[in-house]
Structure formats: C-alpha cells, structure tokens
Amino acid sequence: MTPEVLGLLLIGCMLFAIFIGFPISFTLIFLGFVFGYIGFGDLVFYLMTFQFSSVMLEQTLAAVPLFIFMGILMEQAGLMERLFQAVQLMLSRVRGALFIAVLFVSTIFAAATGIVGASVTILGIMAAKTMNRSKYDVKLAAGTITAGGTLGILIPPSIMLVVMGPILEVPVTDLFAAAVIPGFLLAFLYTGYALLRCYLNPELGPVLPEEERAESMGHVFAEFCKGLVPPAALVFSALGSILFGLATPTEGAGMGAAGALLLTLAYRKLTWKGMQDALVKTLEISTLILFLVAASNFFGAVFSRLGTPTMLTEYLLMLDLSPMLILFLIMALIFLLGWPLEWVPIVLIIIPILLPLIDQLGFNLTWFGILVAVNLQTAWLSPPVALSAYFLKGVVPEWDLRDIYIGMMQFMVIQVFGLLLIIFFPQIALWLPGVIYGN
Amino acid sequence: MAIPITWIDWFSYWVGMTVCWLTVPLFGAMVYEVVARYAFTAPTMWAYDISRMLYGALFMLGAGYALSRGVHIRADFLYRNWSVKNQGRIDAFLYIFFYFPGLIAFLVMATDFAYLSWMRGERGMDTAWMPHMGPIKTALPVGIVLLLIQGVSELLKSLYAATRGRWPTQ
Amino acid sequence: KTVIRVQSVIPAKADEVTMLNDFGANVSALTNGEVEIKVLPAGAVVGVKETLEAVDKGLVEGGFAWTHYWSGYHPAAMLFGSPVAGAGVGIDNIAFVSWYMYGGGKALYDKLWKEMGMNVKGLMLQPVGPEALGWFKEPINSMADFRKYRFRTPPGIPGQTYKDIGVAAVAMGGGDILPALEKGVIDAAEWCCPKPDSVFGFQKVLKHYYLQGLHQVVVNADIYINGDVWKKLTPHQQKAMEIAADASLMRSLSYRIYENGKALKDLTENHGVILHDTPADYFTEYMNAAKATLEKNAAENAFFKEVWDSQKAFADVAVPFWAGAQMSNASLGMAHAKSLQKK
Ligand code: NA
Ligand code: NA
C-alpha cells in the first residue's frame, strides 16, 4: 500500500474511531501515531514533538486563556448573564432576541480578533445559561454560536488571509478589503436564518413570558445601566482596543482579563476562592482547547506527510474540464478536505499545488482567495474534526454533542449558499478593494 | 485500587491549582506592555516571548490535571449506550495499548528535544529578545510525564469500572 | 533516483523559491535526473521554526532558509546569514561571496553546522542583500526623528542593535506587520527589498521608502541536506550539487538586481512611493552599536570570534579596494538615475 492510500485509510478509520468515545485529542494522537508509524517509522514521534512545540509557542493563541479568564470571572460575578438578560429585557417581544445578540457580539469579536477558540468559548460562557433558561432551541443556539465564532477567520484581521496573501501573491490589504463584505453578508445570512426559523416556529427562540417582562421603561433603563453597560463596556473596550489598533489580540485579551478583575472588584464579587476557581476553570477550558488544537495539527501533519492531499489535488489537475466546472471541483475538494483537516494544511499545501491551474484559468486571485476563505470556514463546522463544536461542548457540557453537530451543519448549508453567491456575484468580494485601492 | 487513584488525583489536583496561576503573569505582561508602549513609547523586548511561553506552559502542564477532571471532550454517541463494564473495558484497552506506548515514545523524543535545546543553549530567533528556549521546551516532556502519571489513575479507574460495574466515586 | 524534499521557510511563490527551483533544475540536469530537488512550501511537514531540526532528524531530507534564521542554535549563524552592518567592517554582499569562496568562509561555514550539533550538509545558495532600511509614514531627517516611531525590526541581533541606539523597536512576525501598520500599533517597518516588499503591500499603507540600511546589508540563504542523505550520494552527485550551488550564487545575485529594479520602478512610478536618502547619523550610530554587539558576542563565544576574526582579516585586505571600486560604481549609477529623474 502506498502512503497516499494509507492516508485515505486513516481518514476512514478516524470517522469510526472518534465515535468510540475515547477523548478526541487522544484518539487523533493515537491514529496519527499508528498510521504515521506504518507510513514513515519512528519519525512520527519527532513530528508530534515539533507540532506540539509549534503550538506551544504560537503567541496569538495566548489570547485564548485570557479571553476565557475574562469570561469566567464575569460569569462568576453574574455579570455575563445579566448582560444577556438586559438585552432580552429590551427586546422582550422579539422572537430569537438572544440569537441577534450572540451574532452581534460574534461579529464584533470577529472584527477584533481571528481566534475562533476564544470567540466560541466566551459566547458559550456568556449566552448559554440565559438561552437555556429561556428555553431556546439547543441546536439553533449551538449553531449560531459556533458559526458566529468562525466569522473571525474571515472578517479582518484574519490570520488565514495573512497566511494566504503571500501564497497567492496578492497583497494582504486587498484580501482584507475583499473579505469585509462577504464577512458581514454571512453574519447577516446567519441572523436572517435564525430569525426566520424563530418566526416559523416561536418555540425555537421564545419571547420573554409576560410575567418576566419589565413593568416599566424605568426598570428597563435601570437594568440597561447596571446590567448591560459595565460588562458590555469592558468587552467592547477589550475588543475595541484591538479593533482601533491600540493593542494586538493577545494584548487586548490581557487588558480584558485585567479589566474583568477590576470590574468584579468594583462589584465586590471578588473572593480568594472565586479567583482560584476562575483560574482553575480557565486552565481546564484552555487545556481542552489548546491540547485539541495541537492534537489536530499533528493529525493533519501526518495526513499531509503521507501525501494524500497532494495526490487528490494532482488527480484533480489531470482532469480536462471547463473552467467553471474545475472551480466547482476545486471548491468541492477544499470543502471535503475541510472535514478531516483544519485550514492550515489546506492553505499551505493544497493551494500552492492548485495555483498554477488557477493562474492558467485566469481567475482573479483575490476573488479566489475569498472563495477559499469562505469555504474553509466550514472546516471548523464539519465533524468529526470540528473544533468549534468541541470548544462549545467544553464550556456548555450540558448540551449534547449530537445537537451541537446538527446545529452547526445547518449553518454549513448557509455557508455554502454564501459561497455560491460570491461565485456568481464576484463583486461582493471585489467591489470594496476596487474602491479603496483602485484597479 | 482506590488508594493510588486517590493519591494520583490529589497530586494532579494540586498541580492544576498551582499551574493555573500562570494566567496572572500572562495578563500582567500584556498590560505592562500596552502601558509601556503608550504611556512611555517604550515597548518591552520581553512581553511577546513571556506571554507565549507562559501560555504554552499553561496548557501543557495543565494537560494531566485536565485529564483527571475529564474535560477532554469525547464524542460519546456509542460510548454512553454501553454498560459501565464495557466502558471500563474499552477505556482500559485503549490506555494499555495506545495511551501508554504512544505517550512513552512521545516522552522519549520530547526529552531529547528539550535536552538538545539546553545543550545548544538555544535561544528564540524570531524576536529581538532572544530568550533561552530550554525552559519552555522542557515544559513539553514535563507535561507528558504529568499526563502519564494521571493516566495510571485513569487506567485504574477503568479497570475498577470493568470489574465492578461502576465508576469509583470521587 | 534520490528525491530530496526541501521544506522552505517562505511561501512557494517567493523569489527565493524561484531561484531554489532553478538550482534544483541544474542539479537534476547535472546528475542526469538521478537527484531530484522537490521544494515543499513553508509549514508543509513541520512549522517553520522546526525546519532545521526536522532536517537533522530526517523528517524531511532538506531545508531552505537564511543562515541567520538559526542563530538561536548558534550565535555565529548570524555572521553567515546576515552579518550585522557588514560584520561591522564594511563587507557588502559581493564582498561576502568573495570571503566565502576565497577568504576561508566556506570551511568555517561547514564547521558552523558541526558547532550547532546538526547532522546536515549546508550549501550557500543565494546572496539576497542589501535589504532596505524600511518604510515610514513620515520622512525622517535624523536619528532624533527615527526615535519617534515604533519600528518593526528584524528579529535577533540586527533588531537588538536598534534597541541599543534608542529606537522603539517592536518585534513581530511577518503576518502581523501589515495589520499592525494599518491600525497604528507600529508606525514604520522593514521587511526586505523592493520586490518582496511590494508583494507584501507596504506601499498601500506607507509611502516613504528608505533603501539604504545597515541591519541586513548582507543576507544569504542556503540549503542544508540531512547528513545521512548527503553521504549516500555518489561523489559525482555531491560535486554536481556543489557546482550548482556555486552557480546559484551568481544567478541569484543577478536575478535580484533586475527583479528589485523592476519592482522599485513600479513602486515609484505607479504607487506614489517616495525614495529618500537615509539620514547620515544613522550610519555612524548603527555601525558603532553593531560593533559593540559583535565584540560582546566574540568575547562570549570562541567559534563566533574565529569567524569574525576571519571576516575582519578579509575586510582589512579587500574592503578598501572594493569600497573604492563601489564608490565609482555608485557614482556612475547615480548619474544615470539622476538623468532619468530629470526626464
Ligand atoms: Na477576524
Ligand atoms: Na472539519
């Protein structure tokens, strides 16, 4: 058996093995070890060492524990719940009001950072409790949070576009400008979808029951000032400092963590035990996320080292079809590879192989880059290597993973719809860079 | 069987309670950097490196503790429908034949990796501060050792479940 | 047939990779196709920072970077990859090649990998200096102006040297630079030279460009091959690779002049980029600080001292001649450049 075929077998085994129910990180590691060892001997253990060391030194990921700490500290003090309650109180007659709030915050998060793990977990911490109590539909709730979280890799600043720029030889600034409208378009489609579902079936995002609504506008105003403003101000100043360039994402997250500490002090909610609990909970969730990131990186590295992605891509290159059909096949290939892989190996390995073909077909590379980016967002939402789902499960253990999967996959369909829109209306991506930079 | 489980879990608990404090200097460094840059136009050389090293150490050294708390996610669609005895048997099998051999091989390589870093006096090359890399690279094998230690407890728990039909209570 | 997979530390479309493929084609032709160099993009098998160790262990057969990329393993790597301020003794990239080929550099270069404890055979391929000082949002007329700006510097000793002369040096990865500039986290930045800089897109954010800089006057990229893989090659194949590598030195140098020239013309004519001369006090301050750093390193590390002594001995002989000749070259060239501006 050639290593490339071994890689296909690896994917087949994974689809089964993950669902045995051993912790996913370790399942990915075992599969990588076994297939890597068969494919290229004990070098696989070096590969593991290098991949873990790489993730351990990835500074942007340091934002993850910081945002989580900020979220947990504020949740402990009851500030997060209050924030979402205040939103609900203000929009008490709107079906699915919390979905709007979640997607709004996700979009801000996406514009400030590109760290999916931070966005999904903090929204899980912030919104899940309120959503549960208001009897929101778990599937739709999980779908909005996970899909909203993945907006971060599309809406600038986006690490993915930064990596893609030099590969496509397109200035990163052009890609950033081109990603803005598609990003907001998707946020809009998500919101539209959630609200439409609620409109058709009010059970999915119930309005506040009569007796819980505010008695007077005065009450709403008071709740707005006390419940919404302080925590929202903190979240927005942490994100805003990133958005307006005062700080890098990790620095902004650090400021947010320190700010949350001061805020809980101000509310007299900080105790020694509370601090220790928040820190230890931060450790648990961060470890879950980051260990999983490292494990899936390693898994992807084994798969790539076996040469399977290259083989599939080269197979595609041999086909002689019309440009549009080839574009669809390329998108399908990227979409399918997104199930077992994360975006990193796809951008680094697949795109360079495809590039000569794309050049030859005469596609606009900025447009193509955005298509790839929108397509790759689904990699976060496609099980079994669907990190968004596991991040969310980690902070909201009471939600069934099956429900999270189903919720996410609805949004994958919207994602595909968005992708088709951009394919047929390239101006969605190309209009803004044209206006800003000419040509 | 219960006594080693208790001891190991107690050990991992204290490791977790200690390691989690790394978050504090992590955000401390970030706040210091932002203030130094804006208030004094004096960005530090060290904040970037310190932050990623603390974060890297945090999740690697916390891995064993996280295992003891059962936070590593399972896609347990099949698993949860099995009897406790079968759950224990499957877990025990996977620990013995995959977990320990895999992690021990990983430990050997990671130890060599960290050892070479100390021997070469390796410094970080992607920043101007150029810190010594030995300490953070050592966190990798140490984290694996902590995972192995906690793995013993998890193995014993699954054997307990496999033989007695119930999980040991904490 | 031997396939040598070479993982680079830069994207597949970079000029360095073009020239690396050119080297590979020559190797293949000289060995009748017995040795094939297959270039893998950055991060294909391991992360960029792990590339050299991956070659040492045999996870990939070869790697490609700039020599100084590995200064973390041994400080002397800097003296080969990017000797700061021309090793403090006025060596430019052509003079560097002279030192490498005929001034004892090659033997010391082979020794470098042994000092690092890496089981690799290295071949110097691409002199890619001089790099530009960088991009600024406002013109600078003196070091006092320079110190007002937060400046993205290269990592390692060249960056530390900026810190030493009081510049607010910010170190950040390549991917962070442009967003940081757009948002004003930093005000100025350096990357490489006209062609790579324009691909990066600096011209869209900053318009004031300074070509003359000292932090990376000399920059060299090289290939290294796992030692066991190298030993398995026949003497003829090894010789073919060495000859192809020597040819690559000249090919890269000449390729770069034309490519950067085209890019610079495009930047100034089509993107409103304004070229400036670097303030005179920069050269003295940076040179002094660089010398101090080099001396400190030489005092701490015997091999570093050995390499630097060799470069100094070479410079004492060659630099006065070469600088004089270069002065003539520069005057000649600037006369033509000025006549173009008048048109
Ligand atoms: Na983003
Ligand atoms: Na996926």
Q: What angle do CA A335, A338, A339 make, to 5 degrees?
A: 105
CB distance B127–C73 less than 8 Å?
Answer: no
pLDDT value of residue A107: 81
Q: Which domain holds residue B95?
A: 2-164
Q: Are A370 and A377 in contact (CB under 8 A)?
A: no
**Residue C205: its chain A contacts at CB < 8 A?**
173
pLDDT recorded at residue A24? 81
How many of the other CB atoms lie within 10 Å of CB of B145? 15
Ligand 1 center to A175 CA (angstroms): 12
Most confident among A92-106, A208-222, B26-40, C50-64 (mean pLDDT): C50-64
Distance CA(C47)–CA(C44), nearest Å, equals: 8
Predicted confidence at residue A268, as pLDDT, reads 80
User: What are C38's strand-pairing partners?
Assistant: C5
Q: What does each C-alpha distance from C334 to C253, C327, C329, C331 come to in angstroms?
A: 20, 10, 9, 5
Distance of CA A74 to the CA centre of its chain: 22
What's the confidence (pLDDT) of residue C184?
76
User: Chain B interface, mutation test: which of C73, C119, C146, most B Cβ atoms within 10 Å?
Assistant: C73
Q: Please name the member of B59, B98, B140 whose beta carbon is closest to the beta carbon of A287.
A: B59
Q: Rounded to a whole number, what is the distance in Å from the CA of B116 to chain A's nearest CA?
A: 13
pLDDT band at A177; cut points 50, 70, 90: confident
Residue B128 counted as domain residue: yes
Q: What is the average pLDDT across C243-264?
A: 95
Q: What is the mean pLDDT of residues A419-434?
A: 86
| Structure-token pair, residue A272 | 């020694």
What does the block give as tokens for B36? 């130094």
C116, C155, C170 ranked by CB distance to B120: nearest: C116
How many Å lie between the alpha carbon of C28 and the closest alpha carbon of chain A? 21
pLDDT of residue B103: 94
Q: Which of C53, C69, C172 sits opposite B125 (nearest CB)?
A: C69
- Report the gap between the CA of B59 and the closest CA in chain A (Å): 5
Q: What is the pLDDT of residue B1?
A: 64
pLDDT at position A204 over 80: no
Mutation site, B44, B53, B125, interface C, largest C CB count within 10 A: B125
Confidence of residue A5 (pLDDT cuts 50, 70, 90): confident
Q: A407: part of which helix (H) or strand (E)?
A: helix A401-424
What value does the mean pLDDT take over residues A223-248?
Answer: 70
Q: Which of A14, A61, A251 to mutate to test the interface with B (most CBs of B within 10 A)?
A: A251
Residues (pLDDT < 70) of chain B are 1, 170
Query: Which residue in C has a C-alpha nearest to residue B127's C-alpha?
Result: C155
Task: State how far the Cα of A84 lies from the Cα of A122, in Å rounded to an integer.
Answer: 13
Residue A42 reports pLDDT greater than 90: no
Supply the pLDDT for residue C109.
97
Please state which of the ranges A170-174, A292-296, C148-152 shows the lowest mean pLDDT: A170-174
User: Could you tell me the distance, in angstroms and rounded to a whole number, from the CA of residue B137 to the centre of ligand 1?
Assistant: 30
Q: What is the pLDDT of residue A215?
A: 65
pLDDT in the model for residue A112: 66
pLDDT of C343: 62
- Is residue B128 within 8 Å of residue B45, measured between CB atoms? yes
Question: Distance between CA A270 and CA C104 in Å, rounded?
Answer: 66
DSSP code of residue A322: -
Determine the pLDDT at residue C248.
97
- Contacting C residues, span 26-55, partner chain A, CB-CB under 8 Å: 41-47, 49-50, 53-54
Asked whether residue A217 carries a pLDDT value surpassing 70, the answer given is no
Residues in chain A closer than 8 A to B54 (CB atoms):
62
Highest mean pLDDT among A220-224, B30-34, C93-97, C339-343: C93-97
Q: Which of residues 314-353 of A touch C (CB under 8 A)?
A: 344, 348-349, 352
- 3-state DSSP call for residue C224? strand
State chain A's mean pLDDT as an integer. 81
The verdict on residue B169 lying in a domain is no
Point out the residue among C11, C53, C173 whose CB comes nearest to the CB of A167.
C11
What's chain C's length in residues? 343
Q: Are A116 and A61 in contact (CB under 8 A)?
A: no
Q: Tell me phi and psi for residue C192, to 5 degrees.
A: -145, -100
Separation CA A230–CA A235 (nearest Å): 9
Interface of C with B (CB under 8 A): 49, 53, 68-75, 116-117, 148, 150, 153, 155-157, 159-160, 162-163, 168-173
Out of A96-110, A298-312, C25-39, C173-187, the most confident range is: C25-39
Banded pLDDT at A213 (limits 50, 70, 90): low
Q: For chains B and C, what is the number of CB pairs under 8 angstroms? A: 62
What type of residue sits at position C320? P
Greatest mean pLDDT range, A14-28, B70-84, B89-103, C302-316: C302-316
Closest partner CB to B116 (pick from C117, C163, C168): C117
Beta partners for C152? C170, C189
d(CA A63, CA A249): 7
A chain contacts of residue C271, beta-carbon cutoff 8 Å? none
Percent of chain C with pLDDT over 90: 66
Task: With residue A289 as reference, give the H or E element that holds it.
Answer: helix A272-306
Residue of C nearest to A344 (CA): C43
How many Cα atoms sit within 13 Å of A33 on the Cβ side? 19
- C47/A51 Cβ within 8 A: yes
Assess if residue B20 is contained within a domain.
Answer: yes
Report how many Cβ contacts below 8 Å link chain A to chain B.
194
* Between C177 and C225, the higher pLDDT residue: C225
**What confidence score (pLDDT) does residue B148 get?**
96
Q: How does the average pLDDT of chain C come out, rounded? A: 91
The model's pLDDT over C114-156, given as tens digits with 9 standing for 90+, comes to 999 999 999 999 998 789 999 999 999 999 999 988 899 887 7
**C-alpha–C-alpha distance, residues C299 and C289, integer Å:** 15
Give the residues across from C169 on adjacent strands: C151
Whether B170 is covered by a domain: the verdict is no
Average pLDDT over residues C274-289: 92
The number of C-alpha atoms within 13 Å of A195 and in the hemisphere containing its C-beta is 13
**pLDDT given for residue C78 in this prediction:** 92
In this prediction, residues C324-334 reach a mean pLDDT of 90
**Span C14-42, pLDDT tens digits:** 889 999 999 999 999 999 999 999 998 78
In contact, C36 and C3? CB cutoff 8 Å: yes
> Which residues does chain A have within 8 Å of residue C14's beta carbon, measured at their own beta carbons?
166
Strand order in the sheet with C168-170: C168-170, C150-152, C188-189, C134-136, C208-210, C274-276
Distances (CA, A) of C134 to A272, A367, C170, C215: 50, 30, 14, 10
The minimal CB distance from C13 to the residues A46, A167, A246 is found for A167
**What ipTM goes with this model?**
0.86
Report residue A113's pLDDT band, with 50, 70 and 90 as the boundaries.
low
> Cβ of B23 and A20 within 8 Å?
no
User: pLDDT value at position B166?
Assistant: 85
Determine the distance separating the centroid of ligand 1 and the alpha carbon of A178, expressed in angstroms.
Answer: 13
Give A-chain residues touching B140 at CB under 8 angstroms.
49, 52-53, 56
Number of compact structural domains in chain B: 1
pLDDT at A157: 67
Half-sphere exposure (Cβ direction) of C77: Cα atoms closer than 13 Å = 26
pLDDT band per the 50, 70, 90 thresholds, residue A18 = confident
